């Protein structure tokens, strides 16, 4: 039997935090042993993942709190807030890493004991692939923004770790410290790009951006499919965490009784709830304009 989305989300936060603690510890040792700026870049990225995982851990639990008297639409936007915070952390880390790269380019020195870095990179790659695969499964079954943002961080970490391993190997093989610095610079730029993607998605939710146009068309088609509906207008949609909100007006024949008009509205609501089981539907019935 499939696990419910809320439980999957909680498990994903525990898994990401545990993996981050292991990787930060391992990469810190590797950086001190190798003195590699590309390993430092990977350590910065993973440290950021740990902070993000902790933020996600809290945000998911807040987002899953049911609606109450003070938050009638629920607490789902806590996920988007956490995504925005994470985007800020990513951007700050990317900028700090660029400064470190600039210093190393000005004062180049070769890495040491690159074999240690390669072993730890291999460990990190294995753990991160497993975590990202699980997070992708959770996002697919829950639509969680916070878990999706966390997955984006670990995806960048996976790329950073792969590139770092290659950089360590080639830099040691060719005895060229600038290769190590160049790899770190690419990771920093990749971090900044990831920050923009995560931040944009979070802002869309916080600013109540409409659902995708395909969803809006589908909602209208479902409403108009009811034979009693003469028209649809004032469709408004937005999302908040695991819940989508759909508001619309449907027009019915002016000669219908209140009970009959209400029944048509109830049927449309039921059809929308079947198509969007995670949505809250607010529907108003209007009399159609005279012919």
Report whether pLDDT(283) > 90. yes
What CATH number corresponds to the domain at position 160?
Answer: 1.20.1510.10
Let me know whether 99 and 232 are in one domain: no
Contacts 24+ apart (CB under 8 A), 162-167: 162/121, 162/125, 163/38, 163/187, 164/36, 164/38, 164/39, 164/41, 164/42, 164/117, 164/121, 165/117, 165/118, 165/121, 165/122, 165/125, 167/36, 167/38
Confidence of residue 277 (pLDDT cuts 50, 70, 90): confident
Expressed as residue numbers, the domain containing 277 is: 213-287
Q: Kindly state the percentage of the chain with pLDDT values over 70.
A: 78
Q: How many domains does the chain have?
A: 2
Chosen domain end from 160, 187, 206? 206
- Are residues 226 and 189 part of one domain? no
Q: pLDDT per residue over 85-122, tens digit each?
A: 777 877 777 776 677 667 666 665 555 556 776 787 78
Residues 14 and 89 in one domain: yes
Given 166, 181, 206, the domain boundary residue is 206
CA dist 36 and 39 (Å) reads 5
Over the stretch 125-180, which tens digit does the pLDDT of each residue have? Answer: 888 899 889 988 888 887 776 677 778 767 777 776 777 667 667 766 666 666 66
Q: What is the CATH number of the domain that holds 222?
A: 3.30.70.1350
Q: So what's the pLDDT on residue 190?
A: 76
Q: Which of 206, 226, 258 delimits the end of a domain?
A: 206
Shared domain for 197 and 225, answered yes or no, is: no
pTM: 0.56
Tell me, yes or no, whether 110 and 247 share the same domain: no
Residue 159 and residue 277 in one domain: no
| pLDDT tens track for 123-140 | 888 888 998 899 888 888
């Amino acid at each position: 039997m499939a696990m419910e989305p809320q439980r999957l989300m909680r498990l994903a936060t525990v898994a990401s935090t545990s993996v981050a603690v292991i990787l930060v510890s391992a990469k810190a040792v590797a950086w001190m042993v190798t003195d590699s700026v590309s390993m430092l870049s990977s350590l910065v990225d993973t440290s950021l993942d740990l902070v993000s995982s902790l933020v996600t851990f809290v945000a998911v639990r807040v987002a899953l709190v049911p609606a109450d008297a003070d938050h009638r639409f629920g607490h789902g936007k806590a996920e988007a807030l956490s995504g925005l915070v994470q985007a800020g952390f990513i951007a700050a880390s990317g900028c700090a890493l660029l400064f470190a790269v600039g210093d190393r380019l000005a004062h180049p020195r070769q890495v040491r004991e690159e074999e240690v870095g390669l072993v730890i990179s291999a460990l990190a790659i294995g753990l991160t692939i497993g975590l990202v695969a699980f997070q992708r499964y959770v996002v697919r079954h829950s639509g969680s923004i916070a878990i999706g943002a966390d997955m984006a961080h670990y995806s960048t970490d996976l790329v950073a770790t792969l590139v770092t391993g290659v950089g360590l190997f080639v830099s040691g093989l060719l005895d060229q410290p600038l290769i190590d610095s160049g790899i770190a610079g690419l990771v920093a730029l990749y971090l900044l790009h990831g920050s923009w993607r995560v931040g944009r998605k979070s802002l869309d939710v916080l600013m109540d951006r409409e659902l995708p146009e395909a969803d809006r068309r589908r909602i209208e088609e479902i409403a108009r499919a009811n034979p009693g509906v003469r028209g649809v207008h004032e469709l408004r949609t937005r999302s908040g965490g695991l819940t989508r909100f759909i508001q619309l007006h449907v027009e019915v024949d002016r000669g219908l009784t209140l009970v009959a008009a209400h029944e048509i509205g109830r049927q449309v609501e039921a059809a929308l709830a079947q198509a969007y089981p995670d949505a809250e539907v607010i529907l108003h019935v209007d009399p159609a304009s005279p012919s």
